[in-house]
């Protein structure tokens, strides 16, 4: 009887331990891949904050603004808001290309013609001190046109993915275009920007060049 009394708790412990291990793959196989951003919190950006950037763009005649820049472990993710006004023909040397940062556009309002392609004519290195280079999209080039590029008519609701090294060129904007920008920065060349920094930026006039 004494042997049964002592073996029952032992059996229960064994069963409980086995069940716990089955529910915890890390304990079963500690060599499994682990999260690349250890204990990182998620990031929430309310629509009101994004709208604040659009309002600021209109009030202060700004084009591209970085809302946040977030460390996700293996990369930084930048969230930007861009407002472009009416464009009848492309501005000189207005093709843009970024060496290390890929971009995703989600068009919020308006419509435009956007030309994409890797063959950029008359490449000109962007100054390393340019604000957009330092804070938004890293080193890259401008150019006069995209040779053999694909022209897309983009409008509200559309999504555009632009890999690093691909030229992107607005050749026409009907009235305006507003889009949310997601910048993928695997080399972490851009500085982080927190919610507090975002609110501070929105609270006062932008510095020249923003």
Task: Please give the chain's pLDDT, 210 residues, in tens.
Answer: 444 445 544 544 544 455 544 555 556 577 888 888 888 899 999 999 999 999 999 999 999 999 999 999 999 999 999 999 999 999 999 999 999 999 999 999 999 999 999 999 999 999 999 999 999 999 999 999 999 999 999 999 999 999 999 999 999 999 999 999 999 999 999 999 999 999 999 999 997 654
Give just the sign of the alpha carbon dihedral 138, 72, 25, 10: positive
Contacts of 123 (CB under 8 A, 6+ apart): 97, 141, 142, 143
Residue 99: which of 29, 165, 175 has the closest Cα?
A: 165
Phi, psi dihedral angles at 197 (to 5 degrees): -65, -35
* Predicted structure pTM score: 0.83
Residue 56: which of 209, 204, 208 has the closest Cα?
A: 204
């Amino acid at each position: 009887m004494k042997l049964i009394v002592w073996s029952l708790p032992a059996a229960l412990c064994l069963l409980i331990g086995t069940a716990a291990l089955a529910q915890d793959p890390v304990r079963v196989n500690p060599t499994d891949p682990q999260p690349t951003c250890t204990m990182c919190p998620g990031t929430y950006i309310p629509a009101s904050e994004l709208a604040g950037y659009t309002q600021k763009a209109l009030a202060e005649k700004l084009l591209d603004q970085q809302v946040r820049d977030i460390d996700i472990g293996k990369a930084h993710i930048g969230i930007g808001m861009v407002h472009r006004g009416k464009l009848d023909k492309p501005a000189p040397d207005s093709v843009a290309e970024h060496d290390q940062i890929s971009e995703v556009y989600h068009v919020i309002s308006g419509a435009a013609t956007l030309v994409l392609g890797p063959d950029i004519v008359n490449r000109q290195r962007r100054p390393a001190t340019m604000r957009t280079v330092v804070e938004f999209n890293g080193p890259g080039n401008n150019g006069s046109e995209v040779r053999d590029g694909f022209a897309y008519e983009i409008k509200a609701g559309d999504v555009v993915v632009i890999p690093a090294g691909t030229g992107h060129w607005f050749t026409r904007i009907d009235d305006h275009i507003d889009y949310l920008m997601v910048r993928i920065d695997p080399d972490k060349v851009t500085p982080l920007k927190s919610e507090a920094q975002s609110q501070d930026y929105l609270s006062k006039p932008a510095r020249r060049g923003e």
